[in-house]
Chains A and B, each alone.
Chain A
């Protein structure tokens, strides 16, 4: 309607200038009679055009200023706020749909003096790069660290003691996997730590370079026997290695709490908080993770579990008054005869009756001449032969303190997974020098895939094939290509690619 009015006013003006009599008179009369009306019409049309262009209810603003009866303060404050809002809209970007946000000024006649807050629609302020700034993120992490340290000093353990961790290990395929896990857990421990790593087969560069990355205080000793291939022998050797570590603690008179972290176990952080509560000799519950390989076994297991549920937890058992009453051990009967004998057997690996990792002791128990040592501890040097578990060190097993809410909390999990005896792995798990032959991934998510690269160029590692139809597809982009060279399937794949390429 407004456009037609504009049009009409144009027509009027044109007829005014061209035509002379009657209609002109009448129109000119009407034109002259109501110039005010035409003026308002034209003005209104102009305002509508402007607001169409700007997306702004401009005419409302003008009418508002002309006809509002509020005080002068009010004139200034919306000016300021409009100016502010317009400024912010210029500087910051707004929703992608609207190039300019709509501003709606309040229709109130009540004076709101000196208020910066305006009712109505506001722009959504987004900064040009709405992503985390790494400097800010680091500052925030430092703040979090400080807050947590303060919390620990207020509500946590008062006077925490050093944690002395004993780990027997040896160089094998999965050593890097297991040891890195333990290492990272120990790096997160908020208390002072000493890590005694006993390595079967002597100190090796592999292990040394791996654990040097931790930044922890480490005592790395070698044990002059190579790790045997059967689980039975391995457990015995590991016991000997741990006793060796205990002797080191005795010699160096290390003060703290001794715990046994086997390299394939998983420890929770609450474990380290809980063991601070030990007085002399404590025991925690260990969750036993045994895997069964055959589906037949699974079916059998299911039937068994319905009859008598197996508790895969080893640890102290308490009676109603929270005193030590006995021990939970892993039920090995169903696995009798089916358990793994050699380290790379596919059968289930069973834990011992009581694992070393479930026990913690005060290092003063090991010292030679400690005046307040309790009577029930045996001297390490006086042991005849090896002990199967730390309980062999005590004369009276009832003095053991159950930790972790009297054994109800499982604080660590025992697992034994090893690779095949003949598996080869690159030393330090680093491929050096880099491979000569690299094959680019054939299928990329982007429709305009780059052309086939020449043989010596490395493909971009970011390309991932989201749909893995064949398991062999992975090998073409995996870093561990060299390892899988043994598998014949890969070879054909690689060779077909070569043929396609050439």
Chain B
């Protein structure tokens, strides 16, 4: 009698498994530890306390310029809004694992919409002075259990020119905190160990609105729209993108397989959905929203940026999804792309078609499970529990509050 029971259970289990496997025959789950991590739920694994800063650090800045809500650095604003209403938020700082300081440091925009980072160090400094004097939590670890969202070009180096950013380095008072930033490059001053790399903000509604039918055949081999030479700042070429974008143009402008140009068409999103490969070369900084757009539209990203650290690199296996091309191999780009075996290309497309991948790259409002906000929280949760060594003995000081250029020390 018992044998029949177990046999029946086994058959039923097998039946359920087969149904589950057939549900998505054409998208592939990223198997192994990396893939499952995308669907982790951070709720219950960590608690975040949001400091109440005066509105001059956040709301007033946003009121001055509402363009901050739609440019590619808008993640800092949306992260704040998400945390305010998220279940991981706690109002009791004693039980919090992580502390968040809502400063909109990237919201001082030029008339053309580019953020000026000159006042950001002073703003951050004054905010930290405020929280270290009003709450004891900063001083007990000198910020090691605090995290900041710094989505600017070179993260917390707070400059848009790479040489100056390297000179400045990460703001000294943020050295112990966890930085959530879009910039990621290995062995670079502006990327600390333990930082979380996030994708730049791309407006989800705009992208959803411009989807074309999935049976539209992909007929463009390689697609790229953007600058090759930055004529305003680097007319001869060689500085911008370390010469990689100019190399792409010079080598492939005559090649019909490469649909590349500087024009900005109205059908940009639609064209990406009709392309097999989308180039994501570096610009002045190695990251770009093109990666997000390529993943959302199912176009295989071709990443041309040496030593780049891609968003959520510990959760997303980028080597299996995208194609990495060294900057020195750009002249051979067509050979590289055509020598990829077709099965590999089809597999990459299946991995990209996975909806959890697309969701992980976006910042939707309101937040959805598995989106970029949750991936950030997952990243923070993976760093728990904090080591005992980060908590300083009373009176011990590690950070040098007066380090850095003199201009940064002025109050804000």
Interfacial residues, chain A to chain B (CB-CB below 8 A) = 88, 92, 95, 97, 101-102, 106-108, 110, 112-117, 119-127, 130-133, 136-137, 139-140, 142-144, 146-148, 150-152, 154-156
Contact = CB atoms under 8 A, between A and B. Distances in A.
B402 to A, nearest CB: 19
B332 A127 contact: yes
B203 interface: no
Interface in B94-138: none
16 contacts: A95-B238, A106-B163, A112-B189, A114-B187, A115-B187, A117-B185, A119-B166, A121-B238, A126-B251, A130-B252, A136-B334, A139-B338, A147-B346, A147-B349, A148-B218, A150-B349
A119 B282 CA distance: 13
Contact of A88 (B163, B166, B328, B337): B328
A125 B330 contact: yes
A146 B398 CA distance: 59
A35 B219 CA distance: 73
Contacts of A131: 254-255
B270 to A, nearest CB: 16
B151 interface: no
Interface of B: 26, 162-163, 166-167, 169, 185-189, 213-215, 217-219, 221, 236-239, 242-243, 246-247, 250-257, 276, 306-307, 328, 330-332, 334-335, 337-340, 342, 345-346, 349
A130 B221 contact: no
B251 A130 contact: yes
Contact of B221 (A108, A120, A121, A143): A143
Contacts of B256: 132, 137
Contacts of A147: 218, 276, 342, 345-346, 349
A415 to B, nearest CB: 27
B251 A137 contact: no
A136 B250 CA distance: 18
B251 A127 contact: yes
A124 B257 contact: no
B243 A124 contact: yes
Instruction: In the A-B complex, list the 9 residue pairs whose CB atoms are closest, starting with the nearest.
Output: A127-B331, A155-B215, A115-B187, A139-B338, A122-B243, A121-B238, A148-B217, A155-B214, A124-B243
A130 B276 contact: no
Contact of B187 (A97, A112, A132, A146): A112
B236 A132 contact: no
B239 A132 contact: no
A143 B338 contact: yes
B153 to A, nearest CB: 13
A125 B163 contact: no
A423 to B, nearest CB: 37
Given A112-B187, A119-B162, A150-B346, A144 B307 contact: no
B243 A123 contact: yes
A116 B242 contact: no
A102 B253 CA distance: 25
A119 B185 CA distance: 12
A95 B346 contact: no
A95 B236 contact: yes
A120 B247 CA distance: 16
Given A106-B166, A130-B331, A154-B214, 8 more contacts: A97-B236, A106-B163, A117-B185, A132-B254, A143-B221, A144-B219, A148-B217, A148-B219
B27 to A, nearest CB: 10
B185 to A, nearest CB: 7
Contact of B250 (A97, A124, A143): A124
A342 B243 CA distance: 67
Contacts of A126: 247, 250-251, 331
Contacts of B218: 144, 147-148, 151
Contacts of B189: 110, 112
Given A117-B306, A117-B307, A136-B338, A124 B215 contact: no
Contact of B257 (A119, A137, A151): A137
A125 B26 contact: no
Contacts of A95: 236-238
A113 B307 CA distance: 13
Contacts of A143: 221, 276, 338, 340, 342, 345
Contacts of B253: 130
Contact of A116 (B306, B335, B340): B306
Contacts of B185: 117
Contact of A123 (B238, B276, B335): B238
A301 to B, nearest CB: 33
Contacts of A132: 254-257, 334
User: Which of B185, B239, B257, B345 neighbours the largest number of chain A CB atoms within 10 Å of its CB?
Assistant: B257
Given A125-B243, A126-B331, A110 B276 contact: no
Contacts of B338: 136, 139-140, 143
B187 A124 contact: no
A146 B243 contact: no
A126 B253 CA distance: 12
B10 to A, nearest CB: 33
Contact of A139 (B186, B255, B306, B339): B339
B259 to A, nearest CB: 12
Contacts of B243: 121-125
B250 to A, nearest CB: 5
B331 A92 contact: yes
Given A132-B255, A140-B338, A143-B276, A154 B26 contact: yes
A125 B328 CA distance: 7
Contact of B238 (A101, A110, A155): A101
Given A125-B247, A148-B217, A140 B337 contact: yes
Contacts of A144: 218-219, 221, 276
A152 B334 contact: no
Nearest to B335: A136
A108 B215 CA distance: 52
Nearest to A110: B189
User: Which of A124, A148, A155 neighbours the largest number of chain B CB atoms within 10 Å of its CB?
Assistant: A124
A55 to B, nearest CB: 13
Contacts of B342: 142-143, 146-147
Contacts of A125: 243, 247, 251, 328, 330-331
B255 to A, nearest CB: 4
A9 B378 CA distance: 70
A56 to B, nearest CB: 14
Contacts of B213: 155
A152 B217 contact: yes
Contact of B334 (A115, A133, A150): A133
Given A139-B338, A140-B337, A151-B218, A112 B188 contact: yes
B155 to A, nearest CB: 15
